[in-house]
Structure 1
Amino acid sequence: MYNEKNCYSIHGLPVLQDNIVWILVRANEALVVDPSVAKPVEEWLHRKNLNLIGILQTHHHEDHIGGTEGLLNSWPNAEIVASKTDLKRIPFQTKSVVDMDELLIMGCHVKVLEVAGHTSTHLAYFIQSQKDVSSNPLLFCGDTLFSAGCGRIFEGTIEQLYKSIQLLNELPKETKVYCAHEYTESNLRWALTIKPNDKSINSRLIEVEKRRSKGLLSLPSSLEEERKINLFIRAKNIEEFANLRLKKDSWRG
């Protein structure tokens, strides 16, 4: 994605089996979200002659923080933003944050949102440009919200996850959603087992299949799109939400 007015771009770097490391670039500076591993991110940044100024960490799982230490070897002054309540599990923090904290990074207004459920402590980062308020806001949501899906519950509760999805759904519909995994095609196939005649889900699956067949990412999505295709966002109450999560957990597609 390239925003001419803001002069920033966002790049998705596929790593491991299905992780996506998102890199926001403005001029010669870069901000990385959840570096799973260091080497491919480091090589990409060096190839673009970029200076890593910061890393946003959503939660403590190794496939989200595994590359942080390695990147600090090359950019020791990079700011590491992570949850203050997870100091032991997310090391190297230089900026420890809590829910509703607000930061200014690379000319962007960053709001911290606590979205527990997948893990007991999980952050999302809602970003708006200071220079052009008309540009689309960005949401880096880690493993809480996926396109056409949501995260599994490892440490949190179904109540927490439901509340977190509801919170994210309150953001503006034009918000671009940058999930941490390429799960869209699989999630849509599962959704069709629940709603086989849903036109929006069927249409989106065709579109995603075409993109993936060309080696392209299905992401980012948008909240407007997710409100059409994401059954977890569409759930009318926590009982329906919990039932969907149980069905998704047992699905072997």
Structure 2
Amino acid sequence: MNVYPIPAFSDNYIWLIEKESQVIVVDPGESEGVLKHLKENELTLQAILLTHKHDDHVAGVSDVLDKYPQTPIYGPIETQSLTNHTVEEGDSFELMGETFQVFKTAGHTEEHISYLMGDNLFCGDALFSGGCGRVFTGDYEAQYDALQKFNTLDDKVQVFAAHEYTQTNLRFALSVESPNQTLSQALAEADKMRADNEPTLPSTIGKEKQINLFLKAKALDTFIDLRKARDEF
């Protein structure tokens, strides 16, 4: 099993889950890079997983389907115009011999979901390294509740978030908590990885529990204040 990203737009990652020349694509916001990769590597597309409705996560679906029209597509109810398998909190399904568990992680959008495959978390825009998604719904409690779900996961779970926001998130964290050696070291590591054109993801739940102020927030009011401050950072 190999999980790796195809970069898209300025900072998106389209995650591919590959096993024995079969592949699952997570949140294809664009199609060109995905289709090129599948063709060049002679991979068989098994499914598409969607976490939420935003265009930078779903806009490539139609073009991929033009090439692979029988592809199963899983996603929340807010993406039902694109999917043939609508899933929700508590659902599970199998693909390529792996079990995917679904849980609702709303706040960024009304019906945002995340997928847990073994020790691999595909969380779209609900959780980033050092941060979380903007609460476009205005439902801060839903986003806070989603973070509490992530907090219950095992520390070794890998976090495959959908955007390369790590450096900005850590700079924000240091503006709130400084000096903080753990945050400073994490930012230095992220800076080096990006200078080498390497993704800072995946992170792990254990690491995020140390560096992610949103995940560490002990109360809803604290989270709201942090999120609003990050919006203006």
TM-score, structure 2 as length reference: 0.98
1:109 pairs with 2:91: no
Offset of residue 91 of structure 1: 2.1
Check conservation: 1:59, 1:90, Cα contact below 8 A.
no
Check conservation: 2:27, 2:48, Cα contact below 8 A.
yes
Mapped to 1, the partners of 2:135 and 2:216 lie a distance apart of: 19
CA RMSD of aligned residues (A): 0.9
CA displacement 1:116-160 (0-9 Å, x = unmatched) = 0001110100001xxxxxxxx000000000000000011250000
4+ residue segments displaced more than 4 Å = none
Of 84, 102, 120, 1:94 maps to 84
1:71 pairs with 2:53: no
1:119 partner letter: T
2:135 alignment partner in structure 1: 153
Mapped to 1, the partners of 2:114 and 2:19 lie a distance apart of: 21
Unaligned runs of 5+ residues in structure 1 are: 1-7, 129-136
CA displacement 1:180-213 (0-9 Å, x = unmatched) = 0000011001110001111111110011111000
2:107 partner letter: G
CA displacement 1:191-250 (0-9 Å, x = unmatched) = 100011111111100111110000000000000000000000111111111110111011
TM-score, structure 1 as length reference: 0.90
After superposition, the Cα gap between the structure-2 partners of 1:80 and 1:55, relative to the gap in structure 1 and judged at 3 Å, is same
**Matched residue pairs, number?**
233
Mapped to 1, the partners of 2:168 and 2:127 lie a distance apart of: 14
1:31 pairs with 2:24: yes
The 5-angstrom pairing of residues 202-217 of structure 1 reads 202-217=184-199
1:4 alignment partner in structure 2: none
Of 28, 41, 44, 1:48 maps to 41
Identity of aligned residues (%): 35
2:111 alignment partner in structure 1: 121
Check conservation: 1:100, 1:112, Cα contact below 8 A.
yes
Mapped to 1, the partners of 2:20 and 2:82 lie a distance apart of: 26
1:166 pairs with 2:156: no
Of 177, 180, 184, 2:166 maps to 184
Mapped to 1, the partners of 2:105 and 2:33 lie a distance apart of: 28
1:21 alignment partner in structure 2: 14
